[in-house]
Amino acid sequence: MWMEKCKDVDCFMSGLIKRNAGQPEFHQAVREFAATVIPFIRDNPTYLENQILERMTEPDRVVTFRVTWRDDKGSIRVNRAWRVQFNNSIGPYKGGLRFHPTVTLSVLKFLGFEQTFKNSLTGLPMGGGKGGANFNPKGKSDNEVMSFCQSMMTELFHHIGPDKDVPAGDIGVGAREISYLYGQYKRLQNQFHGVLTGKGLSFGGSLIRTEATGYGCVYFCQEMLNHRGDSLENKNVVISGSGNVATYAAEKATELGAKVLTLSDSSGFIHDPDGIGPEKLEFVKELKEVRRGRISEYTDRFSSATFHADQRPWAVDCDVAIPCATQNEVNLDDAKKLTGNNVMAVCEGANMPTELDAMNHLMQAGALFGPAKAANAGGVAVSGLEQSQNALRLSWSREEVNEKLLGIMKNIHAKCVQYGETGQLPNDNVNYVTGANIAGFIKVADAMVAYGAV
């Protein structure tokens, strides 16, 4: 067994890297997880005897396929798409689809791996999966996006189903894309059931699903601060991204009394020292969702703000930072800028936005650190609630769903406190990374042990 001859994370990782060459994002996600879970496994030999970590880091299966479609000029275009079905030990595969030119198998494996433990933390019966394509929706017409989505679903529908695998949105996949994908699924399968989440409200979608990731992340952040006898009230908050997660994180943070100073996209960030309040956020939502414009246009409309091309917002003085754009958007230099300004809390809205050394720096410097698999689990949690509503053929009210979301985020926080040992970080901070990893691990691992050698 590997742990008999191979006693530490580096040794485990050297095998994993060999088996998964050229997949740096996947290596990074596993390394963070293994570093906290290996000591726990050592104390619980059943997991060791059952080779649970080796099995958990190998996806159940990966489907790769070609997507051929026609652009508006009539030219044939080709993209590559994947569905990574990572682990269905505790429920049907569940996780988003990402459309972005940077999508690779490595990115989707890191996301599918993380999703497995995130979904476990929600307490709902969902396994982990992720998919997507190296398709760039930017600058494409609605017709081209529809053509791509229909072609992608023509292959994907063979592999998904309400009890098998239930995709949803992620970067580049929002209400428009889910609608086109669902329309094609329904046509091919001739069945109307909850096979995708994030659907429109008139065809099985759940209230609050759009808001859920951003709201949930801010609920989690509020829990971390409350646990230390503080709150978001009057805090300066810096947010990156200006998509689904970022805008609703900004909305909830403002509602809880914080002042949101920044938003960004891949071209740069805007800084509004007056705060990005509700009216300004409505402008951003319309800009990004309807007009599909750039965040720099914010400064044309609001003279209180400045635009900083090709920069990230982490040097702006703040109490709380919520990265909501993409992976590896906070490096060690950024983390030092944040701690230089005495940041109190960093809460990950995006998946793996913080590089490993940056994460360690933030925690060692005394900042509260809410890792993605705990902090951004609100989105998939409400997806799980959407599946429940579809299965029951009913819809819950906004208040009901929001109440359940808040309860789930509080519960995830409590699990992190239970397993995240205190006494090792400054300020007696909870180690939320350890807490989330171990709490997420146990449920999946116990199911795998019970199943035997499968």
Q: Which residues bind ligand NDP (CB under 6 A)?
A: 100, 102, 169-172, 174, 213, 241-246, 265-267, 324-326, 349-351, 376, 379
Least distance to ligand 2IT, CB of residue 380, Å: 4
- The active-site residue, picked from 94, 118, 130, 373, is 130
Least distance to ligand NDP, CB of residue 169, Å: 5
- The tokens describing 422, both together, are 């205190």
- Does residue 366 sit in helix, strand or coil? coil
Our CB check for ligand 2IT shows the closer of 128 and 361 to be 128
- Does residue 102 sit in helix, strand or coil? coil
End-to-end CA gap in the chain: 17
Q: Which does 241 bind (CB under 5 to 8 A by kind): ligand NDP, ligand 2IT, none?
A: ligand NDP
- DSSP state letters, 244-288: HHHHHHHHHHHHTT-EEEEEEETTEEEE-TT---HHHHHHHHIII
The residue number whose beta carbon is nearest to ligand NDP equals 243
- C-alpha dihedral sign at 442, 128, 215, 193: negative
- DSSP state letters, 371-398: -HHHHTTHHHHHHHHHHHHHHHT----H
Least distance to ligand 2IT, CB of residue 369, Å: 18
- Beta strand 236-239 with 320-322: parallel, antiparallel or unpaired? parallel
Catalytic: 5?
no
Q: Measure the CA–CA gap between 185 and 206, rounded to whole angstroms.
A: 19
Least distance to ligand 2IT, CB of residue 351, Å: 5
Least distance to ligand 2IT, CB of residue 82, Å: 15
Q: Which does 349 bind (CB under 5 to 8 A by kind): ligand NDP, ligand 2IT, none?
A: ligand NDP
Our CB check for ligand 2IT shows the closer of 96 and 137 to be 96
Q: Measure the CA–CA gap between 215 and 218, rounded to whole angstroms.
A: 5
Our CB check for ligand NDP shows the closer of 218 and 245 to be 245
Q: Which does 172 bind (CB under 5 to 8 A by kind): ligand 2IT, ligand NDP, none?
A: ligand NDP
Our CB check for ligand 2IT shows the closer of 115 and 236 to be 115
Q: Which does 94 bind (CB under 5 to 8 A by kind): ligand 2IT, ligand NDP, none?
A: ligand 2IT
Cβ neighbours around 283 below 10 Å, total:
14
Q: Which does 95 bind (CB under 5 to 8 A by kind): ligand NDP, ligand 2IT, none?
A: ligand 2IT
Q: Measure the CA–CA gap between 262 and 299, rounded to whole angstroms.
A: 12
Least distance to ligand NDP, CB of residue 55, Å: 25
Q: Which does 197 bind (CB under 5 to 8 A by kind): ligand NDP, ligand 2IT, none?
A: ligand 2IT
Our CB check for ligand 2IT shows the closer of 95 and 214 to be 95
Beta bridge partner(s), residue 236: 259
Our CB check for ligand 2IT shows the closer of 38 and 121 to be 121
Q: What is the 3-state secondary structure (H, E, C) of 322-362?
A: ECCCCCCCECHHHHHHHHHCCCCEEECCCCCCECHHHHHHH
Binding footprint of ligand 2IT on the chain (CB under 6 A): 94-96, 115, 118, 168, 170, 197, 351, 379-380, 383
**Angle in degrees, CA 25, 27, 31, rounded to 5:** 120
Our CB check for ligand NDP shows the closer of 9 and 224 to be 224
Q: Which does 243 bind (CB under 5 to 8 A by kind): ligand NDP, ligand 2IT, none?
A: ligand NDP
The residue number whose beta carbon is nearest to ligand 2IT equals 96
Q: Measure the CA–CA gap between 83 and 60, rounded to whole angstroms.
A: 11
- Beta strand 128-133 with 165-168: parallel, antiparallel or unpaired? unpaired
Least distance to ligand NDP, CB of residue 300, Å: 17
Burial of 404 (0-12, 13-18, 19+ CB in 10 A): middle
- For the annotated catalytic residues, the residue numbers are 130
